[in-house]
Structure 1
Amino acid sequence: MCGICCVVSLFVQHTIGGFFKDGLLCNLRRRGPNSSQHLIKTVSDLSYQCLFSGHILHLRGLMTPQPLTDIDNNVFLWNGEVFNGIHVGTAENDTEVMFHHLSSCSSESDILSLFSSVQGPWSFIYYQASRHYLWFGRDYFGRRSLLWQFNKELDRALCLSSVSALSESDNQWQEVPASGIYKIDLKACAISESLVLTFYPWKYHSRENAIEETFLSGLDQISKDLPAYVSLTMSELKLSLITPVVPLNRTVPETSVDSHCRNITNSTVTVEDLHRFLAEEHKKKLVQQLIDVLSEAVKRRVLYLFRDTGQLTGEIPSMPTKKAHVAILFSGGIDSMLIATLADRHIPSEEPIDLLNVAFMIKEQTIQSKQKKQHELHSCQECCKKLDTTIVDNFSCFNVPDRITGRAGLEELETINPSRTWNFVEINVTLEELKRMRQQRIRHLVYPLDTVLDDSIGCAVWFASRGEGFITTQGDVKPYKSSAKVVLTGIGADEQLAGYSRHRVCFKKYGLEGLNKELGMELARISSRNLGRDDRIIGDHGKEARVRMTPTFSLPRVLLLGVLTSCCFHILLLTSNAKRAFVVLTYKGRFPFLDEDVVSFLNSLPVSEKADLTLPRGIGEKLLLRLAAKELGLTASTILPKRAMQFGSRIAKMENSNEKASDKCSRLQSVSVD
């Protein structure tokens, strides 16, 4: 995970350093604390200049400071990682590998072919010196943040950055649309004194009938948000990238599901209902295929980590002999339970797994609201019977729905693998801390998004990914700081398997054809609604997902003292000769449900195989996923109804419960803590 930035000006006489504000530089350095470098390219005869800034979190191969340059004066900034498509050796650095491939490209088609083949999350900026081209863009799903800002005062200035700095100026930041990649011909723009972006969209390609289908609506959709002095055009040859996933199967079956499932009603949903579906050979085969492809996706994200021999934990102050290298954003719902179960397959059995469970302090409740809450959680009461009530009472003000289902889920996981150490990390957030950290950090990271929903999810993800809370060991509650290098999340499951309540509304109004259209839109907009924001949020902790880590230090007789800052958790190393060094413990946000192979498998299935919204909540939505969980041995969690993070963690009820999710959030705009 890195912070990358580029400032372009078509006027050499203007100082582009003024575009590079202190707040922006500080936010970039938080993303990449191991190395910060700047490079300015000035082409006087063409009257343009570029500032490149790279901030590196070193995780793989040899330390490779950015911006990277070569003998041809090309410049490369990379914030990403390669899972497949291009070979990256165990000891190699993916930035260098990508730069080598780019430098070898002799045409635009070669560059597009390269980025079409890369599987994994990425954003990049590439200056092709020989042709005066500046290329930039994000991966197909937009899993890495990249923003742009056009400067009205300088007329033809552009800034690209992983993260922004919230300001009161009229020059607003926007997320670079993940609809394709972009090119600026700096030579042509300098001569014409105009800023023109060439757009290369993602397109589907079917070899069987040679039909191409544009993934997003194209030029008009992007152009409407650009300033008047910036134009967007397609390449003359109509070149494009090929999507790394297959198109969505929009087949609508002529008949509904088998009648033996029609007797399932809202009052009778049980785990045994899932067992009936698994009796069908066809359904059981699909379930096994999903398990296989999702298991492989989880494996890629957890197996090839560097696992040091020190085995020091993040617990404060006493430290057991083993530490977790993988954490899961964990609510006890079907998505996080399935990921935890599959992670258990691939992570060494002696290694703990951190389950990060966030809760926001709930207000004193009336008798009526307590009764409503009990009814809402009725489906998981059996799993909660054996919970230690003393432990629950200690944090009763944080006893939100996700905390209760999380504890129930913990018991299921302990039943499946009692030999594994499952660290259930209770992350408790008070109103005062929420306001303070939103003002200091979170609102700057959520920006340029600005809705109530962005605020709720952004805050929840920020506190969860910080990984600081409490664990209970043999009845003792202890402070704990997760030391995991990878954090897995379930994002993408609801968008592909009809998990949201709005999918039911759409199905009732428009049937399966309407649901197909809605699911296609969900996946198309996931970059702008979720992933860029979440990358900025998790990256603020200096945490990110990367495989095959290389140790960066080896010091004897080390005393560890935790130092918590607003941006990341540092470890102060005191050696026997009293020398000091700071090392950042890193996280990586990983999305197994958005693995290209997983998405292709789910896209290949008709929607009727993935969900059945004629069935009640807790079974009809994400039906295929629930069947996979049942096949893997999960029980009560397989029929828990979907509950959004902002409601399960109770952040949505903490301040103003009368707001709509789509409303602009005034708290993100405030300049002082209320």
Structure 2
Amino acid sequence: MCGICCMLVLVPQDDPVILGKDMLENLQRRGPHCSQQLSRVVPELGYNCCFSGHVLHMRGCLNPQPMQDGQGNVFLWNGEVFGGIEINPEDNDTQIILQHLSSCNSEEAILSVFSSIRGPWAFIYYQPSTHCLWFGRDYFGRRSLLWQFKNPCLTLASVGALSKYINAPWHEVPAKGLYKIDLQKQCNATSLAITWYPWKPMSSDDESVSHREAQFIEDLPHFVSVFLNESKLYLTAPIIPMNCCIPDPSIDQKYSVTNLDICLSDENRKKLVHRFIGVLSDSVRQRVLFLPRNQNPSDSAARVVNSNQAKVAILFSGGVDSMVLSALADRHVPPNEPIDLLNVAFEQQERKGQRISKKKQKQSNTSGAPEKECIEEKTAFNVPDRITGHCGLKELQIINPSRHWNFIEINITLEELKEMRQLRISQLVQPLDTVLDDSIGCAVWFAARGTGINIINGEMQPYISNAKVVLTGIGADEQLAGYSRHRICYKTSGFKGLVNELEMELSRISSRNLGRDDRVIGDHGKEARFPFLDEAVVSFLNSLPVWEKADLTLPRGIGEKLLLRMAAKELGLSASAILPKRAMQFGSRISKMENHREKASDKCIRLLQNMVH
């Protein structure tokens, strides 16, 4: 995880561009290990660039950013290479990618490099020899990149800052390909032309793609234009197209049963489940294995301390997504290393007539006031995700009793929610602004911060998770029909409607979820990783007909995400395998804290009032 930024000024000036204090602080929070800035003033062409890089060191040698090569090319990289380009565990991926780019002498060669990469990324690349500025995000948009147009300036950044310029809002760079600005062709800062190189699906022909226009660009100022590149060049999409087969309605569904064990009794279905476990397990392995472990231990004592600290944390509700990720992480994280399970709950105000049970009152009366306060506190944070989280912890302890599972109870009061939303979260969620964005953004920010309580030797003790990798289950519901709207779609439009809905879910995940979650998790100097969105996992699921992934004729807790539920069962997870889907905003009860009457799609007043001074 890194914080990257480039400010481009399209008017001649002698002094280098300087980033604002708030912007620098936001970027430094993402990359706490190393910060550096670099300016390029080109008076003959009338432009000025400021590059700012802030590094969270994850593997290989620590290399400051912006990184330069011998030709003067400048590279800012926020990503992880998990395949496609060979990178050894001791290598620095920023350096390797720059080496590949340095040997590129054409647009086609640059596109080939980024088409090859498997893993999340956002980048900015400046070529002084051609006076071109390249930038973009990976196919799913797993890393944030924003742009802000304020004539005569363009700013690209991992995260924005609160702005006093109402007419210059931040927007997410669409995860639709690469973009290039030819700085030799910009005319007196009266207009800005951006060339677009889109992703080309593996099954599409050039003709069908070449007719697409950049209509996905919304709300850009009048002086900015985005054009499809004249050479009709494309990046190759890293996943195969979705299998859109529809079953013959005259054939009964073979697996329409109400018991996961009966499903798994079919040998073909069981083989499919094990193939899925294999590809998902490999995705988790890549995301938890090659991390800084026991680096520079000066003595044996340092090694002992280091081995007792978790390097991997999981956003944990006890639901089937987080349980499967936890069980697979257990396969690959070193056995003597703890795993942090981050479980967030928002305080529930006692309603009129609500009382603590007589049993709890009796316990508190006989045990004294301090324990009474503890009981009341537990009651206030006894939200659904806390309950299922504790149950999930017990299942994991049965699967591997020797693993040290840190179950972190993260309890957030209304006062702290309001305070941190104003100080940090609102500017991280921007440019998204709905009630749903507020709820999810706040819940994920507090969870990723990892400040809570851990039960150690039977005692509740304060705990702060220092794990730099945070696994999240985003992508499971979108691919395996996990949302209630998928049931509605299936009921009204059948398999055809469901397939179309799932295709749409995956195509819009970058703008709905991933940039936001990358920004809020990265604010703690931690890196979000998304095993369900690994290219191999997505291609595997795309290869399957929809009825192999979900059976929405079955009840909640079985039919949605059926393939994942069977995988959970095979991994030894029984109770969590059949838990119905519960969205994070409901499971953590953040949606119940402030305004009960809001709709998820409404504009969130609490966010908007903080976004612009």
With normalisation by structure 2, the TM-score equals 0.92
User: Contact 1:74–1:126 (CA<8 Å) still a contact in 2?
Assistant: yes
Q: Could you tell me how far 1:258 is from its partner in structure 2?
A: 5.1
* Separation in structure 1 between the aligned mates of residue 307 and residue 554 of structure 2, nearest angstrom: 48
Q: Any residues of structure 2 matched to 1:603-642 within 5 Å, and which?
A: 603-642=542-581
Is 1:402 aligned to residue 348 of structure 2? no
CA deviations 1:378-415 (Å, max 9, x no partner) are: xxxxxxxxxxx998765111000000000011111111
- C-alpha offsets along residues 557-598 of structure 1, whole Å, 9 cap, x if unaligned? xxxxxxxxxxxxxxxxxxxxxxxxxxxxxxxx1110011100
Q: Who is 2:290 aligned against?
A: 304
Does residue 179 of the first structure (1) align with residue 168 of the second (2)? no
SS at match of 2:215: helix
Deviation at 1:323, TM superposition (A): 2.3
Aligned residue for 1:415? 398
2:3 is aligned to 3
Question: Paired residue for 2:88?
Answer: 89
Going from structure 1 to structure 2, the CA distance change for 1:298 and 1:256 (only over 3 Å counts) comes to farther
With over 3 angstroms needed to count, the CA separation of the structure-2 counterparts of 1:369 and 1:643, relative to structure 1, is: farther
Paired residues for 1:68-87 under 5 Å: 68-87=67-86
User: Are the aligned partners of 2:434 and 2:601 in contact in 1 as well (CA < 8 Å)?
Assistant: yes
Is 2:256–2:551's contact at 8 Å kept on the other side of the alignment?
A: no
Question: 1:277-288, aligned counterparts within 5 Å?
Answer: 277-288=263-274
Q: Is the 8 A contact 1:423 1:471 kept in 2?
A: yes
**Which residue number in structure 1 is paired with residue 487 of structure 2?**
504
Answer yes or no: is 1:520 the counterpart of 2:516.
no
Q: What does 1:134-145 correspond to in 2, within 5 Å?
A: 134-145=133-144
Unaligned runs of 5+ in 2: 358-371
2:402 is paired with a residue of what secondary structure?
Answer: coil
**Contact 1:36–1:55 under 8 Å retained in 2:** yes
Give the Å deviation of 1:322: 2.2
Question: Cα distance, 1:35 vs. partner?
Answer: 2.2
- Could you say which residue in structure 1 is the equivalent of 2:458? 475
1:215 to 1:343, Cα distance in 2 relative to 1, 3 A: farther
Q: What SS does structure 2 have at the residue aligned with 1:424?
A: strand
Could you say which residue in structure 1 is the equivalent of 2:163?
167
What residue identity is the alignment partner of 2:38? Answer: L
Counterpart Cα distance in 1 of 2:374 and 2:260 = 33
Decide which of 650, 654, 662 is 2:589's aligned counterpart. 650
For 2:375 and 2:336, how far apart are their aligned partners in 1? 28
The CA distance in 1 between the partners of 2:225 and 2:88, in whole Å, is 41
Matches for 1:51-70 after TM superposition, within 5 Å: 51-70=50-69
Is 290-299 or 394-403 further displaced after alignment?
A: 394-403
Residues 328 and 340, structure 1, Cα contact 8 Å, conserved in 2:
yes
Q: Give the secondary structure class of the aligned counterpart of 1:37.
A: strand
Aligned partner of 1:253 among 247, 257, 261? 247
1:581-596 alignment runs, 5 A limit: 589-596=528-535
The DSSP-based 3-state class of the residue aligned with 2:609 is coil
Q: Which amino acid aligns with 1:450?
A: D
Map 1:237-252; keep pairs closer than 5 Å.
Answer: 237-252=231-246
Give identity over the alignment, percent. Answer: 61
Deviation at 1:34, TM superposition (A): 2.3
CA contact (8 A) 2:37 2:66 kept: yes
Mapped pair 1:345 → 2:331: yes
- Asked if the contact 2:455/2:461 (under 8 Å) is kept, the reply is yes
Q: Name the residue aligned to 2:446.
A: 463
Match of 2:345 among 359, 366, 380: 359
The residue type equivalent to 1:489 in the other structure is T
Question: Is the 1:311–1:321 Cα contact (8 Å) retained in structure 2?
Answer: no
Q: Give how far 1:369 is off.
A: 12
The superposition leaves residues 306-356 of structure 1 with CA deviations (integer Å, 9 ceiling, x where unpaired) of 32268999xxxxx99722221111000000000111111112222221111
Alignment-derived partner of residue 568 in structure 1: none
Matched residue, 2:261: 275
CA–CA distance in structure 1, aligned partners of residues 270 and 293 of structure 2: 36
Assess, with a 3 A threshold, how the Cα gap between structure 1 residues 289 and 517 changes in structure 2: closer, same or farther. same
Is contact 2:440-2:585 (8 Å) kept? yes
Q: What SS class does the counterpart of residue 168 from structure 2 fall into?
A: coil
**Is the contact made by 2:13 and 2:43 (CA closer than 8 Å) also made in structure 1?**
no
The question of whether the paired residues in 2 share the 8 Å contact of 1:165 and 1:444 is answered with yes
Contact kept in structure 2, 1:47 and 1:190, CA below 8 Å: no
Residue range with higher mean Cα deviation, 28-37 or 422-431: 28-37
Shift of 1:256: 7.5
SS at match of 1:55: strand
Q: What is the distance in 2 between the residues matched to 1:217 and 1:631?
A: 44
Match of 2:435 in 1: 452
Query: Aligned partners of 2:607, 2:542: CA distance in 1, in Å?
Result: 36
| Contact 1:312–1:323 (Cα < 8 Å) also in 2 | no
Residue type at the aligned position of 1:97:
I
Question: What residue number does 2:214 align with?
Answer: 219
CA deviation after TM superposition for structure 1 residue 55, in Å: 1.5
The whole-number CA distance in structure 2 between the counterparts of 1:482 and 1:256 is 54
- Displacement of 1:506 in angstroms is 1.1
Corresponding residue for residue 374 of structure 1: none
Q: Distance in 1 between matches of 2:195 and 2:206?
A: 23
Is the contact made by 2:4 and 2:53 (CA closer than 8 Å) also made in structure 1?
yes
SS at match of 2:201: strand
CA distance in 2, matches of 1:295, 1:275: 22
CA distance in 2, matches of 1:186, 1:369: 68
* Matched position secondary structure for 1:199: strand
CA distance in 2, matches of 1:609, 1:363: 43
1:205 alignment partner AA: M
2:470 alignment counterpart: 487
Corresponding residue of 2:154: 158
Summarize the alignment of residues 31-50 of structure 1 with structure 2, pairs less than 5 Å apart: 31-50=30-49
Q: What is the deviation of 1:641?
A: 0.5
1:185-200 to structure 2, matched below 5 A, reads: 185-190=182-187, 193-200=190-197
SS of the equivalent of 1:251 reads coil
Q: Call closer, same or farther: CA 1:490–1:395 in 2, change over 3 Å.
A: same
Choose 6-15 or 240-249, whichever is displaced more: 6-15
In 1: Cα distance, 2:64 partner to 2:398 partner: 46
Q: Distance in 1 between matches of 2:175 and 2:537?
A: 19
Superposition pairs of residues 543-582 of structure 1, within 5 angstroms? 543-544=526-527
Kindly tell me: are residues 198 and 508 of structure 1, through their superposed partners in 2, closer, same or farther at Cα, counting changes over 3 Å?
same
Q: 1:196 to 1:14 in 2, by over 3 A?
A: farther
In structure 1, the residue corresponding to 2:184 is in which secondary structure? helix
Aligned mates of 1:422, 1:203 — CA distance in 2? 43
**Greater displacement, 125-134 / 43-52:** 43-52
Matches of 1:41 and 1:227, distance apart in 2: 25
Contact 1:215 1:524 in 2 (8 A): no
Look up the SS of the partner of 2:246 in the other structure: coil
Deviations 1:278-297 (A, max 9, x none): 11122111101100000000
Paired residue type of 2:168? N
Q: 2:315 aligns with which of 319, 329, 349?
A: 329
How many correspondences in the alignment? 592
Check 1:11–1:278 CA distance in 2 against 1; reply closer, same or farther (3 A cut).
same
- SS of 1:131's equivalent in the other structure is coil
> What is the CA distance between 1:91 and its match in structure 2?
2.3
Matched to 1:101, the amino acid is H
Distance 1:330 1:256 in 2: 42
For residue 162 of structure 1, what is the amino acid of its counterpart? S
Q: Is the Cα–Cα contact under 8 Å of residues 392 and 399 in structure 1 kept in the other structure?
A: no
Give the Cα–Cα distance (whole angstroms) in 1 for the partners of residues 433 and 458 of structure 2.
42
Q: 1:262 to 1:62 in 2, by over 3 A?
A: closer
- Unaligned 5+ runs, structure 1: 265-272, 314-318, 372-388, 545-588
- Structure 1: distance between partners of 2:322 and 2:313: 11
Larger deviation: 32-41 or 631-640? 32-41
Which residue does 1:547 correspond to in 2? none
Give TM-score scaled by structure 1 length.
0.83
Q: Which amino acid aligns with 2:265?
A: A
